[in-house]
Structure 1
């Protein structure tokens, strides 16, 4: 499904050069649930961003569906990212001035879909995460766990093949965190590939495989 070969990433400023990742070889199979773990600053989020084509490797190759991503400059990459990946972030990244259903519908605006179909898909995604009755609410009217479920609905509304989650339970209490993990596990059972960055060992062990990162490299 996704393959990284000898991928490295270095961030440079005028005075500092930081090697974030070095010689990463990683294969994520279709319908797999992979947890990425490691200490803060080890390169976990950078790795997730590279997998989701949000960032560009300094060297090495990334292939999605068997096809190498040859150029990061054209609209093809944006289309591939929009059609293949759904993203969940620790801080939700919801727009407070938009209703819940409008937040969920946002990724569909980049597709050539009629407005009624976009609304129907957003409604179905919200019902899937148990928030069908909250569609007309605004994010600041919801609890943290509910906001993260809205973020999950937004991530899955376009029916992505791969769901990328960066610390999805990091800002939640244990009960809300369990609810979010239950949703991710259900999506995995339904065939979605899930890649999750987490510091939570318990959450990580719910995945089918744990990948550990230390000082920018994969470790056993």
Structure 2
């Protein structure tokens, strides 16, 4: 499904060169739920961004569905990213001036389809995360856990093959965090591949595989 081969990534500023990742080999199989774990600053989020084609590696190759994507033009990468991946972030990244259903529709604006089709898909996604009754609310009228469920609905509205989640429970209390994990596990059982960055060992023990990163490298 997703294969990274000899991936390295360096960030360059005027005075400092920082090696974020070095010689990463990683294969994520279809329908797996993989947790990426490691200390702060070790390269976890950089790795997730490379998997989701939000960034390009300095060295190495990325294969999605068996096809190498390093040589893709930016336009082709953007299209592949929109069709393949859904993204969930720790800070929700909802637009407070838009209703919940309008937030969920946003990824569909980059695809063909009518307004009625977009609205139907958004309603379906909100129903799946238990927020069908809140679609006309605004984000600031919801709890943190509800906002994260809206973010999950936005991530799944385009029916992606892969969900990428960066600390999706990091801003939630334990009860709300468990509810979000239950939703993710249910989506995985239904066939969605999930790669999640987390610091929570208890959450990680619930998934198929744990990948640990230390100083930019994978460790056993």
Structure 2-normalised TM-score?
A: 0.99
Look up the match of 2:138. 138
Native 8 Å contact 2:92 2:151 kept in 1: yes
Does residue 157 in structure 1 map to residue 157 in structure 2? Answer: yes
Q: CA RMSD in A?
A: 0.6
CA distance in 2, matches of 1:61, 1:50: 10
Native 8 Å contact 2:56 2:70 kept in 1: no
Deviation at 1:19, TM superposition (A): 0.2
Deviation at 1:74, TM superposition (A): 2.9
Structure 1-normalised TM-score?
A: 0.99
Name stretches of at least 5 consecutive residues in structure 2 with no aligned partner. none
Deviation at 1:53, TM superposition (A): 0.2
Look up the match of 1:113. 113
Structure 1 segments (4+ residues) deviating >4 Å: none
Deviation at 1:179, TM superposition (A): 0.3
Matched ranges for 1:39-188 at <5 A? 39-188=39-188
Name stretches of at least 5 consecutive residues in structure 1 with no aligned partner. none
Task: Report how many residues are paired.
Answer: 220
Deviation at 1:87, TM superposition (A): 0.1
Deviation at 1:72, TM superposition (A): 4.9
CA distance in 2, matches of 1:190, 1:42: 31
Native 8 Å contact 2:188 2:194 kept in 1: yes
Q: Deviations over 1:29-65 (max 9, x none)?
A: 0000000000000000000000000001000000000
Native 8 Å contact 1:105 1:119 kept in 2: yes
CA distance in 2, matches of 1:9, 1:76: 21
Native 8 Å contact 2:37 2:199 kept in 1: yes
Deviation at 1:118, TM superposition (A): 0.2
